[in-house]
Every structure is written in structure tokens, then in C-alpha cells.
Amino acid sequence: MLPGKPLLEARRVAKTFTLGKVAVPALRGVDMAVAAGEVVLLMGPSGSGKTTLLSILGCILAPTSGSVAVMGREASGLPEAELARVRLAHFGFIFQGYNLFPTLFAEENVRVSLDLRGVGKADAVARSRAALEAVGLGDKFRVLPRDLSGGQKQRVAIARALVAEPEILLADEPTAALDSETGKAVIALLRELAVSHGRCVVIVTHDARIAAFADRVIRIEDGRITGQGQEPL
């Protein structure tokens, strides 16, 4: 049962990759929707299609068939430039490997997200610092990623994803490189910052320990949703 109107919706989404002459189906008709304020985990074994689904939900990868609607607007079939505008307008991304700019300070890494959206420098600096303070890195503005711990890097990545206040947050294995306690803290933070602002969050993970922070867990196997509920399946 969705708590509100869906911000993100996939209908009969299928994706087939072609490796040489061999067609490899990664998704076989997935239907799902995520509402505002909802935290959804996508779980399943490696190669089950979780990351492919996340890429399609994030308008980064085009489905072979089916459609994706973002904020109620059909996104499938849009040209790449338009999809980039959709991503910029509505999405925040958190990646497994943090994907921070190694040559930029923490504050600058966060500010990139605002610079892409045309926010002026003074405003962008203030908002970036506020975002870092919100993730507990108020004393790390002028620190390079190489001098941050894994947990701190992921917090910078969260600040970067949230600073532009996107409605939808997509995270790919955000705790994979973190120890158990740090992983839990990061997810708790993510939930707090997202849900309190009415955002929806979709997280791909293998980590069953963070299921407690999710509203819903969707199990994917062999490119299909095989179950969903509020506990790890």
C-alpha cells in the first residue's frame, strides 16, 4: 500500500542486454511505484537485475520495453538531453564507490550539484556548507576525499545528493564499503534527511541489516519481483 501519490513508477519494465549475438534478459516486466516519504530497498542476489532497475528508474538507462514515469510524467523514450534534464531536476544519486571528485574539497564536491543547476556561488557555498553540517561534517569543508574515512565520504555523497533538494533519491549499495555500524548510521541519516522532507528513496543493497530503516523491501530474482514486504524476504 503506497502512503501517497507515486513520485516514481515503473510499468512492465524489461531490459535485455546483447552480448555478442546472445540476448541476456536482465529485467522481465517489472512493475513498481514509490511514493513521497517512502524508503524502498531493492534486494536480491548478484545479477538479479537490481542495479539495472535502479538505472532505469533513474532515467540513466533506457528500458527495452515498458515505461517509467517521474513525478507523473512519462520519461521513457525521451532523448538523452531531455533525460539529463529530468535527472537534474528530480534526482539525487548516491553511488557505491562514492564517486567524489578526488581533486575537490568536500564543500566543492557538494557544490558541484548546485553549480550544475545554475545556483550562484555565494548561495551554493552557503547551502553546501549547511548540507555538510546536516550530515555531521561541519568541520570538513576544506578536506579532500583522500583524507576522509569511508563513512565520511559517503556522508559527503549524501550531502551532494540532497543539497539540491531533489524529490527522488537513488542509492546503489551505499553501505557496501562501510562497516556495519557506519552503514547503519549512514542509512539512518539518509532516512532522516529524506523522509522528513517528503522525498522518496530507493536503495539497492545486499545488506539485510539496514532493512529496519526501510518502509518496504522488494525482492528481485532473475529479473522479476518475487516478493515485497516490510522485512527482508
Q: Which residue ranges make up the site for another protein (CB under 8 A)?
A: 51, 54-55, 58, 60-61, 81, 84-89, 91, 93, 95-97, 99, 101-104, 108, 111-113, 115-116, 172
The kind and range of the H/E element at 194 are helix 180-195
Of 167, 160, 114, nearest to 137 by C-alpha is: 160
Residues paired with residue 40 on neighbouring β-strands, in sequence order: 202, 216
Pick 135 or 163: Cβ nearer another protein? 163
Residue 166 Cβ vs another protein, minimum distance, rounded to whole Å: 10
Q: Where are the beta strands (DSSP E) in 95-230?
A: 168-172, 200-204, 216-221, 224-229
**Spatial distance between the Cα atoms of 102 and 200, rounded to a whole number of angstroms:** 29
Pick 2 or 144: Cβ nearer another protein? 144
Residue 67 Cβ vs another protein, minimum distance, rounded to whole Å: 18
Q: Is the dihedral of CA 74, 79, 82, 83 positive or negative?
A: positive
Pick 92 or 151: Cβ nearer another protein? 92
- Runs of H (alpha helix) within 66-149: 80-90, 106-116, 121-134
Residue 114 Cβ vs another protein, minimum distance, rounded to whole Å: 9
Pick 2 or 143: Cβ nearer another protein? 143
How far are the Cα atoms of 1, 52, 64 from residue 27, in angstroms, in the given order? 23, 8, 9
Residue 3 Cβ vs another protein, minimum distance, rounded to whole Å: 27
Pick 2 or 150: Cβ nearer another protein? 150
Residue 45 Cβ vs another protein, minimum distance, rounded to whole Å: 17
